[in-house]
Structure 1
């Protein structure tokens, strides 16, 4: 369902924001954290496949200013009505025949639709409002405790200046249907011929409440002797101190050069940069291998506990988001409180007896979480089932072969994969690659590579490689 929701939001943003400044909300459950005037921090990406992500610090601009008065009203633009419908079908077949020994044939058809109708409006803080606030209100003294913590960590702080909000309840409907058929003919004294067919369909509906934030725009908050808002900051400008200050969250990027080159790029620049950085695939493999070795210092028992807990966490997007938040809070505050359920099972693999996190181990685990964050809900469910079956290794080799053959990834190319017997619309690898935006067929060439699938396919490769390494350590 996440893929359908993300696709609809992406289309809405494309129509209403040609400049590319609006950022989609990653998780509908956390959309209330992106209201106008709210403060955010940016979580840098530690990978080529990841984009910078924003997290709420549970403060509004009024919480750090004097006098502590409500924020001025925002401007409302719209409403705009948006209708989005996507309908597609893929079809393939293969036939094997040996003279005098028979014939085997099979075919597959995949179809899917996504539809949504929504009314949205833009809520915007006027530039004149910011000018007036800077004249009339000043930073609290002493500085707010949370700002002190962010200053110590060297994090940039951003302010939400504009949001895209739903005006009415929205239903996103997603349908998918898979059909397969096969025929078998064996010659001989007793001629044998047989056939079969089957299908599988599903329909899901996601309800987006009225007033939900779908996308947001931010500006950099700069704090010196007083405060100001920078709408178009350069790369050297920072919230606290001069341009040479480096946030502590960059520390996890230092050993890993290949993926870290796309750090802090806009969506458009990120896509272009991803293509420019398509270098030697061996660099990517070496980086993922280094991350895997960092994770596999765990004992076989803890590796099994980590995989089992993560498999259960992947079945619920909010639980996955909660796990990431607890780890971030633990790195910031120093301790992680005891948790129950699958989240607790994962955390217990990453903490010392004193409840302090094993920071180096957590940094490698965040790399895995960053890769998982690029995948959608359908892929998370497939990975959860693969972990339960303890069989992630085979699909990893197929994704690796796909990336090797399509490198340097800038142009659409047909790719044939070294397939086993379990290839078809119901195979996990088929679903995982299809959700990356790739067109698959039952006959060779099996995949038509498209550059737009790069980030998600790299993330899929990283996930499968890391999970495979952990499985082998059990």
Structure 2
């Protein structure tokens, strides 16, 4: 994980464990997650790596008829937390309505992160609802209606009060010291110092509520929603796509252990396995070209979702024209695309290198062993690794594997061997496990 992701995930977990506060995973997108911003939720989602939202270039105010602007979002009040950022930062309430977080072991003592919560006031939302109708002919709304998308409005955010530069020293994300990493753009040193500057007013986490469109120009944002609710009236949709994509994991199923994730991944890989050998090889070629290009992977995900909505048949770039993905295969590809886009671009590039080195089976067993042992562990700890999990790897392959796992938030230590478990790393590890499972299958077929 990037340092920014470490901060936002730890913040969300401390402020709202098991709740609906979603951490932002990309610093570059923070301006599109302010209050009143409209966002999309990914369709083929899973609770294992969390609900995922995609920014749009519009706010709720953009798609309403002209009129008075609502009052500014208000501060939600005091809150306090501790053990943020790698469980080594303590929080203390310094002044009303703010929290200052000062680093200890894992963060530079000179770094102080001060955050506040801002939310849309109920009275402001009520006034806006009474005074301004929906601009029914807005092009963005037309596009979303045709695609059968659900729209969500950002209603509350946790944001920085002041610009801050956070620093961290360590090995887990600085394993890129060997020359063969240079062409991948993964340069660094084992004993490195990482820093990220977070600007003032940067959104770190957010809450959403679903936008509902009633008739032509009436709208509402209900307090309680469920996954069967649709933003646009069903009778105005051209196809059924949305309903067909609701997964069991989207409707509140509780995952009890690693076995549940393993079964879920196996179901999806079985659908991919039904493709012909040529189809699997072509899918491998298509996806491999996109690894390390996160935006292109996200664009493919959106294209597949749109095709499913409209009932279109889909072929990927490297697929022969006579090999068309079935709906079931498209669902499975969407599932794995969702996992891959959770990974950083550096991890995606490392997956390509792992395929070239033919070490995916070893990496898959390594990640599986870690999660079998600690899937429900909610505290940090150091745990032993089975020596045979690393014994077959040469120096370069071992360093590559350490980097791949380390970018998910776990540090593998050759001595022992052992590793440090971090519960905040679990969503990334789940996504990495899914990605490794997919490419292990596809490389066997090629």
Task: Tell me, yes or no, whether TM beats 0.5.
Answer: yes
The Cα offsets for residues 176-215 of structure 1, whole Å up to 9 and x where unpaired, read as: 24899xxxxxxxxxxxxxxxxxx93222322233333222
Is 1:232 the counterpart of 2:224 in the alignment?
A: yes
Could you tell me how far 1:117 is from its partner in structure 2? Answer: 2.7
Cα deviation, 1:120-174, whole Å, max 9, x if unaligned, reads 343322100111122212233x443433443444432211122233343332323
Relative to structure 1, the CA distance from residue 125 to residue 289 in structure 2 (aligned partners, 3 Å threshold; closer, same or farther) is closer
For residue 125 of structure 2, give the secondary structure of its aligned residue in structure 1: helix
1:146 aligned onto 2:140: yes
Alignment of 1:204-243 (within 5 A): 204-225=194-215, 226-241=218-233
Instruction: Provide the TM-score with structure 1 as the length reference.
Output: 0.68
Q: How does 1:59-458 map to 2 (within 5 A)?
A: 59-66=58-65, 68-69=66-67, 71-77=69-75, 80=98, 82-85=100-103, 87=105, 116-140=111-135, 142-177=136-171, 200-225=190-215, 226-241=218-233, 248-249=241-242, 251-252=244-245, 260-263=247-250, 265=252, 273-274=254-255, 276=256, 278-279=258-259, 283-284=263-264, 286-293=266-273, 298=278, 302-303=282-283, 305-306=285-286, 308-311=288-291, 314=292, 319-329=293-303, 331-332=305-306, 348-349=317-318, 362-376=330-344, 379-403=347-371, 406=373, 416=386, 418-419=388-389, 420-422=391-393, 426-438=398-410, 440-442=412-414, 446=418, 454-458=426-430
Deviation at residue 238 of structure 1 after TM alignment: 3.5
Larger Rg: 1
For 1:174 and 1:294, locate their aligned partners in 2 and report how far apart those are by CA, in whole Å. 46
Distance 1:281 1:162 in 2: 31
Gaps of 5+ in 1: 89-111, 181-198, 254-259, 336-345
The residue matched to 1:200 in structure 2 has which SS? coil
Residues 249/214 of structure 1: CA separation in 2 closer, same or farther (3 Å cut) = same
Alignment-derived partner of residue 96 in structure 1: none
Q: Give ranges in structure 2 of 5+ residues lacking alignment.
A: 76-95, 176-188, 310-314
Q: CA-to-partner distance for each residue in 1:326-375, whole Å, 9 max, x for gaps?
A: 5414642799xxxxxxxxxx96236959xx99866544332222222343
Contact residue 113 and residue 174 of structure 1 kept, 8 A: yes
Give the SS at the match of 1:463.
helix
Which string of whole-angstrom CA distances, capped at 9 and with x for unpartnered residues, describes residues 250-308 of structure 1? 5356xxxxxx443255xxxx8xx22x255467734632431441566545873563354
Contact 2:284 2:443 (8 Å CA) reproduced: yes
Cα distance in structure 2, aligned partners of 1:285 and 1:14: 25
